[in-house]
Structure 1
Amino acid sequence: MHGLKGHTVCFTGRVLVDGVWTVRATCSKRAAQRGAVSKTDFSRKVTLVVYGDLASKAVTDDSRAYSSTLVDAEAERSCGRHVCVVDADGFSELLKGRPAPCLKLRKARAGRVRPVAAHTPEGGILGGPLRVRRTGQRLSGDLTLDLSALDRATTAHEATVGTLIAYLSRRGIEARAHAPGAPQFDAGWSCGQEVFVAEVKSLTGAHEEQQIRLGIGQLLDYTHQLRTAYPSTVVHPVLILERPPSVDRWVLLARSVGLRLTWAPDFAGL
């Protein structure tokens, strides 16, 4: 979709707008500045659903409002009336006057509906400039434990991201966020025709093995998705840690599965 003007919007919950959790009332005001009107509940007047809170995750509780909203949107599509659905990244782009991909909806078990990232054209891996996010606490009402989201909410994680941005900048490279519809890696950049996608893991106050294993798994998933979608693009996965790991075996393990493992502040091997 190309803009918010003329749309009637329904928000499923708070939305991560450019790294800041934003409640529905504020989202509605910002959408109004772009010519949209908002509804608190889904109806046949709604033409756009902004999927917040548990964006891009499978819905796990049918009693929550965002679950029924997606079910209603999918039902309208089945009847021939297309309702656009965007995630937090898409809404952030629309607020800037930029286009955003409309998400597909897929039925899951027990009548649940989940959003599926729309296919993006070749070159749609890297998004806009990467920014350090404000950190804060996750709401206690969230239903699933998203370890990656919890990590992004820590000061140590964002400090490492900031150090990476500065390191790349000194070398004339711009750190980029993921493009709408692309896997949600923490940082990306390009060198010539090659693209690097990175997952950043803080180790302060965390279980080191758990964090490193999580990062390796995420990168293997992201890289497989990207290489499948963009077979002509060379994609390099990079796991970036806040500090050196306590044991050397992680370096060998990462190398054996085709990952680059490095850490702040020197980022050796990048």
Structure 2
Amino acid sequence: MTVFVHGDLASQAVTDPHREYSKKLVRAAWERDRGYHVCVVDGDGFADLIDGHPARCRELQRAHGIDDHVLVLPQTGDGILGGPLQQHRVGRHEPGALALDLAHLDKGTEAHESTIAALIEHLARQHVELRGHARNAPRFDAGWSRGDDVFIAEVKSLTGASEDQQIRLGIGQVLDYAHQLQLARTCGRVRPVLVLEKQPTDPRWTSLTETSGILLTWAPDFAGC
């Protein structure tokens, strides 16, 4: 069951027993207490769904000692992180006379999606959900939150491509995304992350990314994540 709540309810108490959305939120909290998952989506999430993006499920909290008072809690990464991220299916191209090497393109895409799938599993073991970008946020590949920190990641495969070129591209992208979010003065500390398919051959990338304030990590261990 999904409850769509149209409006900005973050940090607001929903208490009016005569408003239909209030009754639904109180019922949603009651159903969650019984062990059923009810997804509550706010106005931004509703717009995300209409636009074809997954939406964040809002957290609810009952006011202490008052059964008909429900709080819709703010979440770290609001406005940055979107709904849960899922691995996409990878298609196959038939080799032809094109100058572009489609076999390498397919292998690179498959490696990219496999890296995302491995990162999803890695974070899930820590009870952290990997998410996509919010509708109006920069188009980073993946993101998650811990405490007040919001991690935004660019994922790069190193299969069938120039390793140096891929890493340089990823560094530029994730720094740009982080800078855009800092200019927007979003809540929480934004932490840029570059996620690679495997350990890079040249160790200089570790010191370069550290100097630039980027967390560099790679499959399968994803150190630091």
- Over 3 Å off, 4+ runs: 95-99, 150-153
SS at match of 1:154: helix
1:94 aligns with 2:50: yes
C-alpha change, 1:235 and 1:97, in structure 2 (3 Å) is closer
Deviation of 1:91 after TM superposition, in Å, equals: 8.6
Query: Equivalent residue for 2:171?
Result: 216
Task: Give the match's secondary structure for 1:164.
Answer: helix
Aligned equivalents of 1:230, 1:163: Cα separation in 2: 31
Contact in 2 for aligned 1:241/1:264 (Cα 8 Å):
yes
Overall identity of the aligned pairs, in %? 55
Partners of 1:137 and 1:225 lie apart in 2 by 35
Corresponding residue of 2:4: none
Instruction: Within 5 Å, give how 1:90-239 maps onto structure 2.
Output: 93-94=49-50, 123-136=78-91, 154-239=109-194
For residue 224 of structure 1, give the secondary structure of its aligned residue in structure 2: helix
What is aligned with 1:254?
Answer: 209
Q: TM-score, normalised by structure 2?
A: 0.60
Secondary structure of 1:251's counterpart equals helix
Cα deviations by residue, 1:233-258 (Å, 9 ceiling, x for unpaired): 20000000000000100000000110
Please say if residues 136 and 153 of structure 1, whose CA atoms lie closer than 8 Å, have aligned partners that are also in contact: no
Inter-CA distance 97–219: structure 2 relative to 1 (3 Å threshold) = closer
The Cα offsets for residues 138-184 of structure 1, whole Å up to 9 and x where unpaired, read as 9xxxxxx9xxxx79971000000000000000001000000001001
1:191 positional shift: 0.4
Superposed displacement of residue 193, structure 1: 1.6
- Given candidates 212, 219, 222, the residue that maps to 1:264 is 219
Quick one: distance in 1 between partners of 2:194 and 2:53?
33
Q: Which residue of 1 aligns with 2:66?
A: none
Question: Can you give the 5+ residue segments of structure 2 that lack an aligned partner in the other structure?
Answer: 1-45, 56-76, 94-99
Q: 1:212 to 1:92 in 2, by over 3 A?
A: same
| Kept in 2: contact 1:151–1:157 (CA 8 A) | no
| Deviation by residue 1:52-102 (Cα, 9 ceiling, x = unmatched) | xxxxxxxxxxxxxxxxxxxxxxxxxxxxxxxxxxxxxx9972167989xxx
Residue 188 of structure 1 aligns with an amino acid whose one-letter code is G
Secondary structure of 1:265's aligned partner: coil
Change in Cα spacing, 1:95 to 1:269, as seen in structure 2 (3 Å) is closer
C-alpha distance in 2 between matches for 1:98 and 1:160:
20
Q: Distance in 2 between matches of 1:268 and 1:125?
A: 23
Deviates more, 1:195-204 or 1:90-99: 90-99
AA of the residue aligned to 2:147:
G
Aligned-residue Cα RMSD (Å) equals: 3.0
SS at match of 2:216: strand
Structure whose CA Rg is larger: 2
- Give the Å deviation of 1:263: 0.2
Matched residue type, 2:49 = E
The answer on whether the counterparts of 1:197 and 1:237 sit within 8 Å (CA) in structure 2 is yes
CA contact (8 A) 1:137 1:153 kept: no
2:223 counterpart SS class: coil
Within 2, Cα distance between the matches of 1:97 and 1:242?
Answer: 25
The 8 Å contact of residues 156 and 167 in structure 2, kept in 1 or not, is answered as yes
Where does structure 1 lack aligned partners over 5 or more consecutive residues? 1-89, 100-121, 139-144
Whole-Å separation in 2 of the counterparts to 1:160 and 1:208: 15
CA distance in 2, matches of 1:209, 1:203: 9
Tell me the equivalent position of 1:13: none
Aligned length: 150
